[in-house]
Structure 1
Amino acid sequence: MTVETLDFKQLEAFCAVMTAGGVTGAARLLHRSQPNVSRLIQELENTLGFALFVRNGPRISPTEHALRFHPEAERLVNVFHHVRERAEAIGSGQPPSFEISAISALAVSLVPPALAAIPRELMPRSLHVQAAVVDRVAQSVATGASDFGLASFPVSYPGLGVKWVGEAPCVAALRHDHPLAAKPLIPLRAFADCTLITMSNPFKLRYRVDHVFEKERIAPRAIVDTNTGATALSLAREGLGVAIVDPATAYGMPFRDLVLRPLDVRIPFFFGAIVGASRALPPALSVFSDAVLAAAERLLPGFRLHQTLGADLLEDALYGEQPLQT
């Protein structure tokens, strides 16, 4: 089986069944007959060489193969829709649609004000903003599914170009009535007497947080970790500890009853714009890129801009060996 043998209608039917949870609901979504959708699913199974659904009377359940195949099928279906939109825009003389992929922290904080800065005459009739984990952002941009990406670093994927790198310090987030909330600056040594809320991935932001605590020879009284900055803020709001989070999440998702304070040690959060290595940006996305930087300067205290850097310098800064020079 090759990509060329895949049929768009079959993939669309499969994604609709996965979304609706059954053939009947998928048929309604697609405005097709139920037998037609069933036939398309059977044809796709024959093409792929594995079963997608287990049938138990009128009910069906996705197989393990279907669960693994679904994200890729959904990506292909989205790409086809976007190609069709672009073709229609080109034919009508309108700005072509584009897709921006960003990690959730940047999607909610920097993307909206940057999009608002694009002149109306450059805005397409359709645009797409996808929030995803950093690896998915990189893959989407590298494969051309997205035209522009905003990712945290480190990130690596063949076919990527880094347009710019930004840096801003992480902040402490804590309940407004927490004893430390009265301090204008949170000393790292204060965590020896309280619970640290931090990220769970040991190879990304958590690495730099742990590195600073080890360097200062400070051990938090207790640690709670999670996989998203938004969850860390929610935990801090409930008084479960003091969170150290990236500034984009902290300032882009303000929480009631939560205050933000700088730390007495700079823990850098690195992020930047990634593009296809051999693809030129259309005018609207060039404006967007500059507008993201402007939004970062307004929103993120202590923001620093770095031009495109060599991989060795960026890696040293990411893993605590030496600071970047602006």
Structure 2
Amino acid sequence: MASPDLKIRQVEAFRALMQRHTVTRAAQMLHISQPAMSRLIADFEERVGFALFTRQQGRLLPTVEANVLYTEVERAFVGLDSITQAAQQIRAMRRGSLRIAGSPAVALEWLPRLLTSFAREHPGVDITLLTHSSSTVVQLVASQRIDIGFIAEAMPHPAVRLDRLTHEPMRCILPAGHRLARKRVLKPEDLRDEPFVSFPLSFDARRTIDRVFVEHGVARQMTVEAQLSQTIVAFVAQGAGVALIDPVTASFAGERVAVRRFEPAIADELYLVSAVGSPASSLVTAFAADMKLALEKIKTT
């Protein structure tokens, strides 16, 4: 009596025998013994309720019913092969998606550079990069609309975890050819009465920078305010003044402005934001590792 309870190993044995034509070669294909192969075929015939093979002159020949059934089996195995291929691609990080959000300091130029390199190493991965304020990045991670985020200030949230990636000093940038560019390290006294491009007063970085100059009794010419580090770089490149910016932006600003160390050090931080209780995918883990390596290079410059 036929039973609908088919076992995958029996179906695999039937498929192998249809493809290899002899029990010996089919058994080799499945890495089992000939008796085991024969048993699987016999059990499969009992399950389906009709003969699948006839023996003629020492050869096994598929019945008409077997050929019809084999067509359906192949359709099913095409799907299984697709699943296997997908699993292999996921394991090799050549399939999947990587959704990232970052605050402008890292998302406008630095993250695109890193993600372009990552995309070359992992073809087939869909990458999304969103640029938002730090608070919005945290909300996107908390709601799991993105995988990870990168922000320039700590913003605690019960649904996210913050991992500090850097605690590096800000850099001083000057127009190319500026008289102070000959110095390796600049101090507040060096910038006395210099036109200065600054962050808005509402920014923590602005208040910290201003406090350092007040403590050293140094006055600057506060000429321009801008929200984004990249905009500040553009102003400095045009000769609007000098500035202090985050080390990440400074790491690729050297093509447009002179970049120098500044003392006393004013620390700038970068945080990785991830959802609490949500395990990271292999793609997220790999990209986070790449980013940490890139940040190590910044520390040495």
Give the alignment's TM-score, normalised by structure 1.
Answer: 0.59
Compared CA separation, residues 290 and 164, structure 1 to 2 (3 A): farther
TM-score by length of 2: 0.63
Q: Is residue 259 of structure 1 aligned with residue 258 of structure 2?
A: yes
Match of 1:41 in 2: none
Q: Which structure's CA Rg is the greater one?
A: 2
Q: 1:237 to 1:90 in 2, by over 3 A?
A: farther
CA contact (8 A) 1:98 1:127 kept: yes
Determine the structure 1 residue equivalent to 2:267: 268
**Shift of residue 125 of structure 1?**
3.1
Aligned equivalents of 2:157, 2:198: Cα separation in 1: 26
Task: Output one character per residue of 1:58-90: Cα deviation in whole Å (capped at 9) or x when no partner.
Answer: xxxxxxxxxxxxxxxxxxxxxxxxxxxxxxx99
The residue number in structure 1 matching 2:237 is 237
> Shift of the alpha carbon at 1:300?
4.1
Which residue in the other structure is 1:279 paired with? 278
Q: Deviations over 1:6-46 (max 9, x none)?
A: xxxxxxxxxxxxxxxxxxxxxxxxxxxxxxxxxxxxxxxxx
Query: Which residues in structure 2 correspond to 1:4-23 (within 5 Å)?
Result: none
Aligned pairs for 1:130-145 (under 5 A) are: 130-145=130-145
Partner of 2:49: none
Q: Which amino acid aligns with 1:219?
A: A
Question: In 2, Cα distance between the equivalents of 1:206 and 1:133?
Answer: 17
Please, what is the CA RMSD of the aligned residues? 2.7
C-alpha contact 1:118 1:284 (8 A) present in aligned 2: no
Amino acid at match of 1:191: L
The count of residues paired between Structure 1 and Structure 2 equals 213
Q: Which residue of 1 aligns with 2:148?
A: 148
Q: What secondary structure does 2:144 align onto? A: coil
Q: Which residue of 2 aligns with 1:71?
A: none
Does the aligned pair in 1 maintain the 2:175–2:258 contact within 8 Å?
yes
Q: What is the match of residue 129 of structure 1? A: 129
**1:283 Cα deviation from its structure 2 partner:** 1.1
Distance 1:201 1:271, change over 3 A: farther
Distance 1:227 1:90 in 2: 49
**Contact 1:98/1:124 (8 A) holds in 2:** no
Contact 2:165 2:292 (8 Å CA) reproduced: no
> Which residue does the alignment assign to 1:113?
114
Tell me the distance in 2 between the aligned counterparts of 1:271 and 1:90. 39
SS at match of 1:97: strand
Once the 2 structures are TM-superposed, how far is the Cα of residue 92 of structure 1 from its aligned partner? 5.0
AA partner of residue 187 (structure 1): K
Partner of 1:172: 172
Distance in 1 between residues matched to 2:295 and 2:171, nearest whole Å: 15
- Which residue is equivalent to 1:194? 194
Name the counterpart of 2:183. 183
Residue correspondence of structure 1 range 10-49 to structure 2 within 5 A: none
Q: Could you tell me how far apart the structure 2 residues matched to 1:90 and 1:241 are?
A: 59
Secondary structure in structure 1 of the residue aligned to 2:185 = coil
Identical aligned pairs, as a percentage?
Answer: 19
Q: After the TM superposition, which parts of structure 1 deviate over 6 Å for at least 4 consecutive aligned residues?
A: none
**Quick one: distance in 2 between partners of 1:140 and 1:232?**
27
The verdict on how the C-alpha distance between 1:271 and 1:90 changes in structure 2, with shifts beyond 3 A counting, is farther
* Cα distance in 1, alignment partners of residues 146 and 267 from structure 2: 27
User: SS of the residue aligned with 2:161?
Assistant: strand
| Contact 1:198/1:226 (<8 A) preserved | yes
Q: In structure 2, how many angstroms separate the alpha carbons of the residues matched to 1:298 and 1:111? A: 17
1:162 CA drift (Å): 1.3
Cα distance change, pair 103–242 in 1 and its aligned pair in 2 (3 A):
same
Query: In the aligned structure 2, how far is the partner of 1:181 from the partner of 1:247?
Result: 17
For structure 2, the 5+ residue unaligned runs are 1-82
